[in-house]
């Protein structure tokens, strides 16, 4: 008769040991650190890897520290933070501002579908080690914008991000007496393009931020585009009384090029330097081509071919 073999107990990982301690003592796994004979037990390793046998004594240290991840969907970024459970949600926001550059008053932190209030302690939020918070970026409601009006004067306006451009124009009409229907408000983009703002859209939707500077254009204005011989497109906002020469000067300033090496062509005809945009019948949102003069083109071809 063969002898009956007793099943051997399977070795546990350090993580499973922590789980059992947590079930018995109510101590979160993320707060437990296990040591044996001076060695720190890693979660993924088996206890037998450290020479732990039956009836061995393992030291348990309960820590206050946890590491969490903060996911920011709007910018596709994840930030890792080392925190203590004695810290508040406001402390997390301060760390996020320092690491991610997002102002505290624009942050909404979410955990398991609920918003965390600034005065809540992490210990009371149900946060464990390795968990993830979601950050919603909510821009501050109030903005201050500066508007450059006629004569180079600047006026300050306190507005809300959900105001439309038409609302801002009415404010300017109240302060300056300038009819809203004759106003064109514009912002300057990072590349130097001056872009007219749309009346029916909000400041937030057109990326207007706190302390931004807007320019006010009066009278008959037109926004159009310059397509260069390099394939670059410039956005222009000018008065219909401006001349082709005025346009050329702006192009030369933006592209840092010398005058006389190019000309402007609109709908099949060359624009005369002294003609106004009105005389040239430049329409809103139309495109003017900037082309190199023929002699320079031939020189460039010769250099390339040599």
Burial of 23 (0-12, 13-18, 19+ CB in 10 A): exposed
Boundaries of every domain in the chain: 14-62, 65-137, 142-219, 223-300
> What's the topology of domain 142-219?
Ubiquitin-like (UB roll) (3.10.20)
Q: What is the pTM of this model?
A: 0.44
> What's the topology of domain 65-137?
Ubiquitin-like (UB roll) (3.10.20)
Average pLDDT over residues 134-147: 83
Same fold yes or no, 14-62 and 223-300: yes
Burial of 66 (0-12, 13-18, 19+ CB in 10 A): buried
195-238 pLDDT tens trace:
889 888 889 889 898 889 999 988 678 889 999 998 999 999 88
4-44 pLDDT tens trace:
444 445 668 888 998 898 888 877 777 788 888 888 888 88
Confidence of residue 102 (pLDDT cuts 50, 70, 90): confident
pLDDT value at position 297? 52
Q: Helices H, strands E: what count in the chain?
A: 5, 18
> What's the topology of domain 14-62?
Ubiquitin-like (UB roll) (3.10.20)
pLDDT value at position 139? 64
Out of 1.10.10.10, 3.90.76.10, 3.10.20.90, 3.40.50.1970, which CATH number does the structure's domain 223-300 have? 3.10.20.90
At 214, which helix (H) or strand (E)?
strand 213-218
């Amino acid at each position: 008769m063969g002898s009956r073999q007793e099943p051997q107990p399977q070795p546990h990982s350090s993580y499973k040991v922590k789980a059992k301690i947590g079930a018995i003592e109510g101590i979160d796994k993320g707060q437990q650190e296990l040591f044996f004979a001076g060695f720190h037990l890693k979660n993924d390793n088996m206890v037998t890897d450290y020479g732990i046998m039956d009836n061995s004594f393992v030291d348990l240290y309960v820590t206050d520290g946890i590491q969490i991840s903060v996911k920011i969907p709007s910018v596709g970024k994840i930030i890792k933070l080392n925190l203590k459970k004695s810290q508040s949600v406001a402390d997390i926001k301060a760390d996020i501002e320092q690491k991610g550059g997002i102002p505290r008053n624009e942050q909404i932190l979410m955990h398991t579908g609920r918003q965390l209030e600034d005065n809540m302690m992490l210990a009371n939020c149900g946060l464990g080690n390795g968990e993830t918070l979601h950050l919603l970026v909510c821009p501050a409601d109030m903005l201050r914008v500066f508007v450059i009006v006629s004569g180079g004067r600047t006026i300050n306006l306190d507005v809300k991000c959900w105001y439309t451009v038409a609302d801002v124009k009415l404010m300017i009409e109240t302060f300056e007496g300038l009819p809203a229907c004759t106003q064109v408000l514009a912002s300057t983009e990072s590349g130097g393009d001056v872009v007219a703002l749309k009346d029916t859209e909000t400041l937030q939707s057109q990326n207007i931020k706190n302390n931004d500077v807007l320019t006010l254009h009066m009278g008959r204005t037109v926004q159009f585009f310059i397509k260069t011989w390099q394939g670059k497109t410039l956005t222009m906002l000018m008065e219909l009384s401006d001349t082709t020469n005025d346009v050329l000067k702006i192009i030369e300033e933006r592209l840092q090029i010398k005058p006389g090496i190019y000309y402007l062509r609109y709908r099949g005809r060359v624009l005369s330097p002294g003609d106004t945009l009105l005389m040239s019948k430049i329409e809103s949102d139309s495109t003017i081509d900037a082309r190199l003069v023929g002699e320079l083109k031939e020189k460039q071809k010769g250099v390339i071919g040599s």
